[in-house]
Amino acid sequence: TVVNGTSGAGDWRKQEARTVKAFDHPNIGRWKTWGRLPWGRFYLVSEFVEGEGLTAYTAGAKRMPVRQAVECTIQLLAALAAIHPNVDRIDSLRAKMDVGDISEENYEEWNRLQATGWYHRDIKPGNLMLTGDTVKLVDFNIAALATQANKTFTGTPGYMLPDIGMMRWDTSFDLFAVGVVLYELVTGQHPYPNRVPDAEASPTDPRTYVP
């Protein structure tokens, strides 16, 4: 059970719960139901995913073959593609608007796309379950609708962009975390010294750890 929200959250939390419950993708943990506790907090109940977290391969003694690490990452990207806003299409329609060459149908599509899409905001090995050959993204406790994800300092240290909190959330924040996870799966190490991403420094060459 994942508790999400407060007593003052309002109707948008109900909408959020319904939306998350509607996610239907093989690489996303399914949500079974949602409700509200007597003291007002909303909660989501997810399926039980039998397997192990990818932390076992990034912080433990286990190592994952590079090919498998890449396959796991591709599956994770597929999950994010299913929930992220369609930024390519949004940008394409915006370009048409900028030159005054957009139809009413395209404008309605642009409005619709602007109002859809989610950011997970906590991509890390502990929120990725390996069950057989399938990776499942779980724990949407701090996920947010793209339209409501502003300049927030949200996530797990080590997996957050260095300039988080200074920019409005977009897909790059989740994708940066994906890159860190892939690096850890391949090398067993964090790409930055002291596990602190640094905008002024390059990540350590992974061949330092894996020739």
Residue numbers annotated as active site: 122
Q: Angle between the 87-98 and 104-114 helix axes, to the nearest 10 degrees?
A: 140
Q: What are phi and psi of 140, to 5 degrees?
A: -100, 30
**Alpha carbons 200 and 202: distance in angstroms, whole number:** 7
- Are 205 and 189 in contact by the 8 Å Cβ rule? The answer is no
Cα angle 97, 168, 161 (rounded to 5 degrees) comes to: 125
First to last CA, the chain: 42
User: Which residue is listed with tokens 């190490």?
Assistant: 189
- Are 60 and 52 in contact by the 8 Å Cβ rule? The answer is no
- Write out the DSSP string of 102-154: --HHHHHHHHHHHT--EE----SGGGEEEETTEEEE---TT-EEGGG--S---
- Are 134 and 26 in contact by the 8 Å Cβ rule? The answer is yes
